[in-house]
Structure formats: C-alpha cells, structure tokens
Structure 1
Amino acid sequence: MNSHVDIKSIPLRTFRLPSLAISEFGFVWVALALLVLLSAWLAPDTLRLGALTAMAPFASFLAVVAVGQMLVIRQRGLDMSAGSMMTIAGLVLAILASRTGMILVPIIATVVLTGLFGMVNGLLVARVNISPIVVTLAVDALLLGGVRAISGGTAMTLPKGFQDLTHTHILGLPSSLVFALVSIGFVAVLVNRTLAGRRFVAVGTSPRAAAASGLRVLRYQVGAYAAASVCFGLAGMMLAGFVGSASQTAGADYLLPGIVAVIVGGTQFGGGKGSVVATALAALFMAQLQQLVMALGASPAVQLLVQAAAIVVAVGLRALPRLKQRLRSRA
C-alpha cells in the first residue's frame, strides 16, 4: 500500500487563517489590556491606587467629551469647538454662581446656553449646508473671543460649594467618575435601547434613506450637535470645579484627545456605526497613555506624536479583519 500523501490533494480550506473573534469595537479592550501591561513594565507607579485616583477625574472629563464628539461624528460631522465650549461653560458658571450665590440655577443656565450654541452649529451644518469643520471652527473663534472678553485674560474662581461638590466621593468613588458613568450610561441607553436612538443611528447611516422613510433628518442632525455641546459644557463645568477656577485655556487640551478617543473606540467617520462604551474605554486608554508618556519624561511634542500614533494603530487594528478576508480569498 502506498503511504505517500499528495499535498496537492489536501483541500485549500485546511490552510485558511483562523477567524478573529474580536468585534470592530472589541479592539479597544485589547488595546487597553496591552497598555496596562506596558505600563506595568515601563512605569508601574502609574498603576498604583494613588495615581489611578488622581487620573480618574481627568479621564472622566475626557470620556464625557469623547462621547459628545462621537454623537456628532456618527452624524457624519465633527465639532472643533469642543475645547472652547468647555472653557465658556466654566466661565459662565463661575460668573453666574458668584453673582447669584446659587449652584443649581447657574448649572442649568449654562447647560441651556451650551445647548443653544450646539444648535447653532447643527443648523449651520444641516440647514445651510456648510462644512462641519468650517462651521465649528468659526464658532470656536467666536467663543474664544467671548472667553477673552468675559475673563479679561484672568482665571475666575468658582464658589467653594461647587468645588466641594466636584471633590466629594460617592460610594467610595470620585463624584466626577460617578457623574461620567451616569452620563455615559444615559447616552448608551438612549442610543441603543430607544426608538429615538435607532432613528438616530438610521439617520447617521444614510440621511437620504432615513428621509425617504419619513424620518425628520434635520432634527437628529441638529440634536447631535446640541447634545454634544451639552456634554462639552458639563465636562467644562466639572473641570472648572475640580481645578477650582475657570481659565481661558481650560478646555484646549481636550479637543484632540477627544477626537482620538472616538477613533480608537471604533466609530466611523462615515456615520452610523459607533459604540458609546467603546468610546468611553478609549478615553480611559488615552488618559492612561498620557500618564505613561509623562511618567517616561516625554515632552509635549512627543505626547502629540504618541496621540497621532494611537490613531494610526487604531485604524490599522480595525483594518485587520479586511486584511484577513483578502488573504483568505487569495488562499
């Protein structure tokens, strides 16, 4: 009996690449796990309880900003006024709180104001059909002018009551972290578990198809910008309260990381697809990444390069399934 085996007779499917069980939004978990391992090796002090506790508030602010940016990007837009929106919110809150001696009313008024700014962004983009980048950069410039006129170039102190609110702990967790978790959970439920959320996704996926099916496309597009601005405003108020003062550059450091977090979280700029939870995790990834590079003594320029590299790696990871499919088709 001939024991010789002809290799050519073996079906090609035997050599196909194994299927990747990671979803398009699951790569952020892998990236976060790898970053934790890298941090434990290069800078273990960044994973100590004290360092994590100190990082948690700023990661929370970034997560809220990123979720707001994600809402706009899922509607095929981009909001470049996020940093100025955070700054103006902190300044307006400081002024209203100092003049009225109250906390709740100034918070509500600031939320309404930022929401109106967002509606202006949305109407100019969706109704007037101006490029989102052009519109939001113009609004950003107007807000910067307003910031300088209001502040006079100096920081404004927030009332001690609001500062104490942002430094308290709830169930052993920083109040800022609890606030971020509640906000992110609310947005996740609204987008994923409600009829309005499904319509929001449909509009972002294909505005023409959504309009043909009878959906009010303008409402969801403008609403995305308004909701995003509210998120930026809430993050700006919490940041100002945590720091103790509102400065004219408070939100500048959150614009680029917020956009990067959305990209790392897997949201597509083509609209529709996205994940609130993955975006929040990506914000945590960005915060820890910044802690790591700072612990290694990197300069601000190097930190920006690292953020750019994070975008490239995130896009590359999401391209792996398509690469695998091509390799399988050629096998």
Structure 2
Amino acid sequence: MRKVVSNQADVVSEPARPFVAKSRSVRVPAFGEFWWIWVGLVLLFCVSLVAAPGTMTRGSILAMLPFAGILAIVATGQTLVIQQRGLDMSAIGMVSLAGVVMARSGFGFDSIILAVIFTVCMGGLVGIVNGALVSKFAITPLVATLAVNALLIGGVRSLTGNVPVNVPTPMQTISHAQFIGLPANVLFAFAFVVTAWFITRKTAIGRRFVAVGVNPRAAEVAGVRVLQYRIGAYVASAVCFSAAGMLLAGFIGSASQTSGNDYLLPAIAAVVIGGTPFTGGKGSVIASAVAALFMAQLGQLVLALGAGPAVQLLVQACAILLATTVRHLPAAIRAFRKNV
C-alpha cells in the first residue's frame, strides 16, 4: 500500500515540476530600489542627443556639470532631512548667506581658509536652530524653516544693501578649477555624496540615523538619542547648503540675495525623483545626486528647445509625476500578479 501511494505521489509530482519551472521562467526580475534613476538618466541623454545635439557636446556638458554638482550638494543635505521626516525650506537663504559671508569674511580675514571655516560654522549654527525648532519645540518643519529662511534673507539684505558682493579671487580659482578633466564643483559634490553615503550606510551612526527616521518612538525605546539625530540632520543639511553657496558664489564671481533662488525646488525635485520618500527612513543620497544631474540636463534640454520659464516649471512637474509613477510601478505590477 505504501508503494502504491509513493508511486502516485511521483506521478503527480513529475508533471508539476515543468509547470513550476515554466512559471518561474516568465517572472520578470525586480530592479534595485533606486536603480531606475540611472535608466532615466541614460534615456534623457539619448533624447537630448536626438532632440538637441548641441546639449551633448563636450563644451555644453562641462558648462552644465558645475551647476549640477552644486545642486547635488544641496540635494544631499535635503535628502538627509527628508530621511528624518523633515523638510528644510531655508536652502534659499542659506545658499545666499553663505556666499555673502564667505566673500565678506574672505576679504576681512585675508584668508579663504578662515572664511570657509567661519561660513561652515555659521551654517552649523543655523542648522541647530532649525533642528531645535522642529525637534525640541515641535514646530512644523515647513513653518520653522520658512521662518528661518526669511531671517536669513533679511540678513543677506542687511549685509549687502541689495548690491552683489565680489568674491575673493582664490575662491573663484577653486570653483573654476578642473582635475582629471572634471570641474572642481563635481569633485566636491562627489566627496559630499560619498561621505554621506558611507556614514548612513556603513556605520553604526548611520544605522541609528535610519532607525530614527523609520520610527522615532521605537528608536527612543531602544535607547537611541532621537533628538541628537534629528537636529544633526538639519546641521548636516545647513553645512551642505553653505558649501553649495560658497561654490556657487565662487563660480559666478559674486554673491547676492538671489543666489539661492534656483536651489530649493529643484533640490526637492531631485530628492523625489531619486526615490527618497517623505515618510522617512530609507533613502539614497547617491540616487538624489544622480537625479540632480538629471534635473540639470533636463533644464539645459528645455532651454535648448527654446521653452520659457513657465514651460520649464511644467516640465519639472511632469518629471516629478513620471518619476513617482515609475517608482511605484514595479510594486503595483507585483501586487497585481499576486492577486491574479
């Protein structure tokens, strides 16, 4: 009797195996969570090559990369804050103020190194204020950072009198320098992105940082000092904004109250396109940096096609919507197949 049952089991199992193998063979492999932004960047370059070949020349790319690097630094800081379920709207004021303070202190100290250190320290203090308002006093991040941004813009106007400030020659030389054929701003951006990636992904501090972003209450119960990590995210963000402001001022040759106007919404768009959710926790500074390059090339393409400012904003909005849709498409397909 046992022999008959085992034979029947073998008979049933044999035809089932090809079916299982066949069903597995048609399964589409899942892409990495943030890898699709690389695909989008390659497609954008292909479209640019066809629609506006002038944007793909060596000169055009080298002209675009310094601004893409600055945007990547701002997006890195914004990513760290969004990973903590926050939002830093003081980017405009911080980028503008950093350029002005670096320029003024550079001439005052007669040392660009002391000027950079002083500017970074000032940015750190602004980050502490932002982090304390949001984390300690429980003010909504949008409201708190907008208020701080207004104070920063007021400070810039007081320092400049609404007149652009010249930047010391050493800073201009640094911002326009090239190394191994790449603009210095790109190399600075690479350093910021890699440092942020290494800390958040490869260290115990980074693991606790992500844990706080995922669930602050659970992290606090586990003994993690939540307040320090949340304030630290705003400090890191302000330091990134300060560095971007100094590099931008050095590249342009002057600093003014409007210098940071183009580095708030595009940076947030880069974070969204890069796949970092506003729910906190997971995120990728590398994906945000790649998305910053995507945004810079997209802007250059739109300009080359002769579109006005309104069309540029419309294209940016469409890019954000498309990126959000594509990001959730694989999960939707898997859920659909599972239900079917």
The answer to whether TM tops 0.5 is: yes
- More displaced 10-residue stretch of structure 1: 24-33 or 255-264: 24-33
Q: Does residue 126 of structure 1 match 2:135?
A: yes
TM-score when normalising by structure 2 = 0.92
Out of 158, 161, 172, the residue aligned to residue 152 of structure 1 is: 161
Deviation at 1:330, TM superposition (A): 3.2
Mapped partners of 1:273, 1:93: distance in 2 = 34
Output one character per residue of 1:117-163: Cα deviation in whole Å (capped at 9) or x when no partner. Answer: 01100011001001000000000111111111111011000111211
State the partner residue of 2:246: 237
Matched, 1:329 2:338: yes
**Matching residue of 1:258:** 267
Detail structure 1 runs of 4+ shifted over 4 Å in the superposition: 13-17
Match of 2:213 among 189, 204, 207: 204
Q: Deviations over 1:226-260 (max 9, x none)?
A: 00000000000000001000011001101000000
- Cα deviation 1:152-190 (Å, max 9, x = unaligned): 011000111211111111222211111111111111111
Q: Determine which structure has more spread, i.e. the larger CA radius of gyration.
A: 2
Aligned to 1:129, the other structure's residue is in SS state: coil
Taking the TM superposition and a 5 Å limit, the aligned residue runs for 1:38-57 are 38-57=47-66
Asked if structure 1 preserves the Cα contact closer than 8 Å seen for 2:273 and 2:324, the reply is yes
Percent identical? 51
SS at match of 1:269: coil
2:246 equivalent to 1:246: no
Structure 2 segments unaligned to the other structure (5+ residues): 1-18
> For residue 156 of structure 1, what is the amino acid of its counterpart?
V
| 67, 72, 81: which one aligns with 2:90 | 81
Whether 1:182 and 2:182 are equivalent positions in the alignment is no
Is the CA contact (8 Å cut-off) linking 1:20 and 1:321 kept in structure 2? no
In structure 2, what residue type is equivalent to 1:288? Q
Show the counterpart of 2:77: 68
Quote the Cα distance in structure 2 between the aligned partners of 1:284 and 1:17. Answer: 35
Q: Count residues in correspondence.
A: 321
State the alpha-carbon separation in 1 of the partners of residues 203 and 23 from structure 2. 44
In 1: Cα distance, 2:339 partner to 2:85 partner: 34
Match of 1:137 in 2: 146
Per the alignment, in what secondary structure is the counterpart of residue 47 of structure 2?
Answer: helix
1:217 paired residue number: 226
Q: Which ranges of structure 1 fall in alignment gaps of 5 or more residues?
A: 1-9
